[in-house]
């Protein structure tokens, strides 16, 4: 798809924003072109993801072949195992083959998008006035909440709701990148201000990327309508819409707090059910999950390293030698089937162990 066509897809045609007096003719068109170019560049699939998508699109590749390609990316493999071993399913799985079969092609496509673009959520979004990792944290919270909500209103779509929650704000870092070179732009606080500045909004940008990746329609709709005035009809979109509202209310956003009771009711969730859900989510998040196979000391070493401590600092705090710490780490690498500390910490964070 060419840039001009992309700009047309990203343009907001409903209730177009009024141009400020200082706007120059053609500014919106140039901005939309810049957004389209940034989206193409920043959301381009990696070599591993491209090869996995090629196998999926072929329609005849065995699961083992897909799993072997996924294994080339520790980040994707870790997220795949995390999703496949969530509370939505029964017995845990310990292989990528079984994990792929469990979540299915629809969820795998969403996971590939999340894994490929998640790095975009980690940066500082100056145009939105938020620090580094703020969007990353928000996306994780919305994903977890969307999954929990979906299990109560439409359990079969809970994996898709989780993935849609992970990428629902993907358009924001794209717009932030466009704004990075335009120092005169003001801080953007809501969707209306986004449209006034860019001629589009992050929901449309993220949805365009999702469609380019051939993601399922229900996931695309969830991304597109997560800031709508009323919840979407589809269960995935409904779960993400309510989850975003809940998380923003928990952060003290006045508008979200005022809309939450009616929003929950519109989604078919009585207030007492929502309250129990919030309580359960809070309790579950207090203690990290525990990986099977690791000893208490191995897990302790892993968690200390996850805080940024060096092996020498860990040894000092535990009252042992540095070589002992490294011995513990080698056992961790073998048990987790990873090749080093970076992969071990990545897997531990993705699986919720640290």
Cut 0.75: pTM above it: no
Residue linked to tokens 């969007």: 135
Superfamily name and number for 47-284: Hypothetical protein af1432 (1.10.3210.10)
How far apart (Å, rounded) are the C-alpha atoms in residues 247 and 138?
A: 8
Tokens found for residue 250:
């928990």
Going from the C-alpha of 118 to that of each of 15, 236, 254, the distances in angstroms are 31, 20, 28
Of 35, 117, 82, the closest CA to residue 346 belongs to 82
* Average pLDDT in the chain: 82
Looking at the domain 296-351, which fold is it?
Arc Repressor Mutant, subunit A (1.10.10)
How far apart (Å, rounded) are the C-alpha atoms in residues 66 and 53?
A: 9
How far apart (Å, rounded) are the C-alpha atoms in residues 74 and 351?
A: 12
How far apart (Å, rounded) are the C-alpha atoms in residues 276 and 89?
A: 21
Specify the higher pLDDT residue, 32 or 295. Answer: 295
Q: For residue range 68-92, what is the model confidence (pLDDT) as tens digits?
A: 999 988 878 887 887 887 655 667 7
Q: What angle do the packed helices 341-351 and 322-336 form, to 10 degrees?
A: 60
Q: Is 266 helix (H, G, I), strand (E, B) or coil?
A: helix
Span of 89-93, 139-143, 186-190, 340-344 with lowest mean pLDDT: 89-93
- pLDDT band for 23, please (50, 70, 90 cuts): very low
Q: For residue range 123-161, what is the model confidence (pLDDT) as tens digits?
A: 888 899 988 888 988 998 999 899 889 988 887 888 889
- pLDDT band for 3, please (50, 70, 90 cuts): low
Residue 241, pLDDT > 90, answer: yes
325 and 52 Cβ atoms separated by less than 8 Å: no
Q: Is 189 helix (H, G, I), strand (E, B) or coil?
A: coil
Query: Looking at the chain, which runs of residues are DSSP E strands?
Result: none
Tokens found for residue 323:
């070589």
How far apart (Å, rounded) are the C-alpha atoms in residues 91 and 84?
A: 10
Domain ranges (residues) in the chain: 47-284, 296-351
Q: Is 300 helix (H, G, I), strand (E, B) or coil?
A: helix
Residue 14, pLDDT > 50, answer: no
């Amino acid at each position: 798809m060419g840039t001009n066509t992309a700009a047309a897809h990203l343009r907001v045609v409903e209730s177009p924003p009024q141009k400020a007096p200082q706007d120059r003719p053609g500014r919106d068109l140039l901005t939309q072109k810049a957004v389209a170019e940034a989206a193409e560049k920043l959301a381009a699939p990696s070599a591993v993801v491209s090869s996995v998508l090629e196998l999926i699109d072929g329609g005849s590749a065995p699961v083992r072949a897909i799993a072997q390609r996924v294994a080339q990316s520790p980040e994707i493999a870790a997220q795949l195992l995390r999703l496949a071993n969530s509370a939505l399913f029964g017995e845990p799985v310990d292989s990528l083959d079984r994990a792929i079969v469990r979540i299915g092609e629809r969820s795998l496509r969403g996971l590939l998008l999340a894994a490929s673009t998640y790095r975009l959520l980690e940066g500082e979004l100056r145009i939105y006035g938020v620090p580094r990792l703020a969007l990353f944290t928000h996306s994780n919270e919305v994903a977890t909440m969307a999954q929990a909500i979906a299990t109560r209103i439409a359990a079969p779509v809970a994996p898709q709701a989780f993935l849609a929650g992970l990428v629902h704000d993907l358009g924001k870092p794209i717009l932030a990148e466009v704004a990075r070179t335009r120092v005169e732009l003001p801080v953007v606080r809501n969707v209306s201000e986004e449209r006034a500045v860019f001629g589009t909004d992050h929901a449309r940008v993220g949805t365009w990327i999702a469609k380019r990746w051939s993601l399922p329609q229900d996931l695309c709709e969830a991304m597109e309508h997560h800031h709508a005035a009323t919840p979407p009809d589809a269960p995935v979109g409904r779960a993400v819409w309510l989850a975003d509202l809940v998380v923003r209310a928990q952060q003290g956003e006045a508008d979200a707090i005022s809309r939450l009771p009616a929003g929950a009711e519109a989604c078919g969730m009585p207030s007492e059910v929502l309250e129990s859900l919030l309580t359960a989510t809070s309790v579950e998040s207090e203690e990290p999950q525990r990986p099977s196979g690791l000893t208490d000391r191995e897990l302790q070493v892993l968690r200390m390293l996850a805080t940024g401590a060096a092996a020498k600092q860990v040894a000092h705090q535990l009252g042992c030698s540095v070589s002992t710490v490294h011995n513990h780490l080698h056992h961790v690498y073998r048990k987790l089937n990873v090749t080093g500390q970076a992969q071990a910490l990545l897997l531990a964070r993705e699986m919720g162990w640290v």
